């Protein structure tokens, strides 16, 4: 599911919940959509972390940490 559509539906359910409450089916849908969103965030964050390259200083260099 497209992330913009996913976030839009989550927000729609949040507004409805605040205004009048959700049915049991809508509450379950909201929980499922939130898990999908969080899974996407976690996956993207993991990809960013996996792309980090650690660089060690050369032995004997005089550079000081900032």
Q: Report the distance separating Cα 41 and Cα 63, nearest Å.
A: 36
The whole-number pLDDT of residue 34 equals 97
pLDDT score of 58:
73
Q: 6: buried, middle or exposed (CB in 10 Å: 19+, 13-18, 0-12)?
A: middle
- pLDDT given for residue 47 in this prediction: 96
CB 13 within 8 A of CB 22: yes
Q: Of 26, 25, 33, which is closest to residue 2 (Cα–Cα)?
A: 33
Total count of domains within the chain? 1
Q: Which domain holds residue 23?
A: 17-51
Percent of the chain with pLDDT over 70: 89
16-25 burial: b if 16+ Cβ within 10 Å, else e: eeeeeeeeee
Whether residue 39 is contained in a domain is answered as yes
pLDDT tens-digit map of 19-50? 999 999 999 999 999 999 999 999 999 999 99
Q: 63 lies in a domain?
A: no
Question: pTM for this structure?
Answer: 0.73
């Amino acid at each position: 599911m497209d992330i913009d559509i996913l976030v839009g539906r989550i927000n729609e359910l949040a507004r409805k919940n605040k205004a009048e409450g959700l049915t049991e089916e809508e509450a379950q849908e909201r929980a499922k959509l939130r898990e999908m969103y969080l899974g996407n965030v976690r996956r993207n964050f993991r990809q960013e972390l996996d792309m980090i390259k650690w660089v060690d200083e050369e032995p004997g260099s005089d550079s000081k940490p900032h």
